[in-house]
Structure 1
Amino acid sequence: MNPTPLLTATALHVTFPGRRGAPAARAVDGVDLDIRPGEIVALVGESGCGKTTLARSLLGLVPPTSGRVTFAGKPLDYGSRALKAYRKRVQLVLQDPSGSLNPRHTVYDAVAEGLRIHGYAGDEREAVAEALSRAGLRPPERFFLRYPHELSGGQRQRVVIAGALVLNPELIVADEPVASLDASVRGEILALLLSLRDELGLSALVVTHDLGLAWNIADRVAVMYLGRIVETGPAEKVLTEPQHPYTQALLSVLPESGAEPVVLTGEPPDPSRIPAGCRFHARCHVLASGEAGRTGVDADCRTTLLPVLAGGDEAQVACHWATAHTTRSGAGAGTETSAVGDA
């Protein structure tokens, strides 16, 4: 795999002003993230953690308050002409195919829309047919004149994917791409995304709350909580040896985990009122159990802010307890300690 990132976010912040004097909401609060050519990265976390806002910022739909997005070595230009060119190379696949497709447009018109917006000068019919074929709708001509309501949910999602592929993008951002599909169809769509990576070298950022999906499709995983990445690394490492209590809790509810389910109490804090210290500490089962006290970091958990995780391939965790626990056990202390610095 090419080690040079295709897309990089550096110290990215997205802050929304509060209404009527209310504090500003820090939806994305200092994120470093990179995606390499031919790589699938899963961005996981509960609803409201900021992952969709982060994805929209990476797409240029939400300009960052501060920080930088770089694509193919160049900073993202938020001018309208530059964004139009950028969105030809980076395409969005939305969660709900029914909402993504105009019910009055045929499949052909839905897929051809991007070509027309970008003034495609080649053979439109050939390009549409190729995109539908790549998305698994074969023979493509059979679908040209059909309408969304005449298709199954899986077929509609394939049309949405074809609409992204028709412009030959280098990266797709898929926001919960199988959440609205039946379980029997989800595997087919995930297999399609994997085949596109293998056959076309296509990169993907898959936004999801489902760590089971991440296990099936991702090369790397970034776990997000309240605007920050709290754990990141190779999928196998993060999902088989989770270090952060939040990651452990998310994984524990998967039937195949074999772990005792950890029930997270309460909702994530309001992003306009982020607590001091580790922002997960109010819901942390390790802190509540007294284990953090036994490692001597319980006060740090409540008061000391953890730095942003750096990008890269190594497994990293932003957690006082995980760092102390790993250091005491003598296993892999270097990686985790470097992840949280002197906190």
Structure 2
Amino acid sequence: MNTEIPARPLLSARGLHVAFPGRRGAPPARAVDGVDLDVGAGEIMALVGESGCGKTTLARSLLGLVRPTSGTVSFDGQPLARSSGALKTFRKRAQLVLQDPSGSLNPRHTVYDAVAEGLRIHRYEGDERAAVAGALARAGLRPAERFFLRYPHELSGGQRQRVVIAGALVLEPELLVADEPVASLDASVRGEILALLLRLRDELGLSALVVTHDLGLAWNIADRVAVMYLGRVVEIGPVESVLVHPQHPYTRALLSVLPESGGAPVVLSGEPPDPSRIPSGCRFHVRCPVLASGGASAVSDRCRGEDLPVLDGRRRAVACHWVTATAGD
């Protein structure tokens, strides 16, 4: 796995914010609240966090599916335009792979039609049958013609996910954004799909942003990992650095529940705060086990009252007053 940050970012976000209007006069929900993030050419980046942390909203805003409240998104060095024509062109180069293949596939469409749909939307002028067969083969469904006339209910869960991936590959994109791509699959199939994504990266030079709540998945597939909490990235860096030597208390808590961690799980108190009422100071301080144990007493006032800057998405970084203070000791 690569440990160095690629020299050329393929996808970049700077100062990205996404807020949704509050209900009945409530403050806006700040789903993404200031994010800088880069995905390099040929890189697999994992975006990790609890449910509700904003990672899916961030991923969709990077694809132009959700309009940011502020901030910029660039692809291949060019700002992402928001016109319908520009977004259509962009989505040929950057494809979304959803969590639930059953929900992604129309039960009335054959495998052939499901994979060919993108070609038809983009008015592909080449040999459609050859393109569909090639995409199915690259996704591991061989011989491809055997699957053309089958329907989703005739396939296994792993085969359905491969069809969804083939539907993304048929347009020959440069970037896949995969939202929990193996969460609905049996453990025996998960490894096969992860190996497929790695093979596609190696053979096709594909970049990928993999959205997941599973740090174990990130360890198996990613070059770099960004850990997200309550709308903001709190730790980022090469996967070996972040997962072997985690610094943020939130990252440590997430890792502690993995079976291979070998220690006692860290149980975080309460639920993440409402994104329409983000706490002052460090947004994690109300659940931080270090602060609760008195371990951060020297910086406790800063934890509760002083906000942290948006992390630079290009290098190893941590957003934590306690980590900053102890690093300087």
Instruction: Provide TM-score, normalisation by structure 1.
Output: 0.94
Runs of 4+, deviation exceeding 3 Å: none
Deviation at 1:141, TM superposition (A): 0.4
Determine the structure 2 residue equivalent to 1:324.
325
Deviation at 1:327, TM superposition (A): 2.1
User: SS at the partner of 1:62?
Assistant: coil
Deviation at 1:2, TM superposition (A): 4.6
Structure 2: state its 5+ residue gaps. Answer: none
Count of aligned pairs between the two proteins:
325
Determine the structure 2 residue equivalent to 1:301.
303
User: SS at the partner of 1:30?
Assistant: strand
Q: Deviations over 1:294-336 (max 9, x none)?
A: xx11111000000000121x311000011112222xxxxxxxx
CA–CA separation in structure 2 for the residues paired with 1:259 and 1:123: 56
Determine the structure 1 residue equivalent to 2:109.
105
- For CA contacts below 8 A with separation 6 or more, give which structure has more relative contact order: 2
Q: 1:2 to 1:241 in 2, by over 3 A?
A: closer
For residue 65 of structure 1, the aligned residue among 69, 86, 104 is: 69
User: SS at the partner of 1:10?
Assistant: strand
CA–CA separation in structure 1 for the residues paired with 2:41 and 2:117: 26
Deviation at 1:259, TM superposition (A): 2.2
**Identity over aligned pairs, percent:** 80
For residue 142 of structure 2, the aligned residue among 138, 146, 151 is: 138
For residue 115 of structure 1, the aligned residue among 119, 127, 142 is: 119
User: SS at the partner of 2:145?
Assistant: helix
Deviation at 1:59, TM superposition (A): 0.7
The answer to whether structure 1 residue 274 and structure 2 residue 275 are counterparts is no
Determine the structure 2 residue equivalent to 1:337.
none
Deviation at 1:247, TM superposition (A): 0.2
User: SS at the partner of 1:230?
Assistant: strand
Determine the structure 2 residue equivalent to 1:336.
none
Determine the structure 2 residue equivalent to 1:214.
218
User: Match for 2:179: what amino acid?
Assistant: D
Deviation at 1:20, TM superposition (A): 1.8
RMSD over aligned Cα atoms = 0.7
CA–CA separation in structure 1 for the residues paired with 2:245 and 2:328: 15
Structure 1: state its 5+ residue gaps. Answer: 329-343
Instruction: Provide TM-score, normalisation by structure 2.
Output: 0.98
User: SS at the partner of 2:296?
Assistant: helix
For residue 60 of structure 2, the aligned residue among 48, 56, 61 is: 56
User: SS at the partner of 2:307?
Assistant: coil
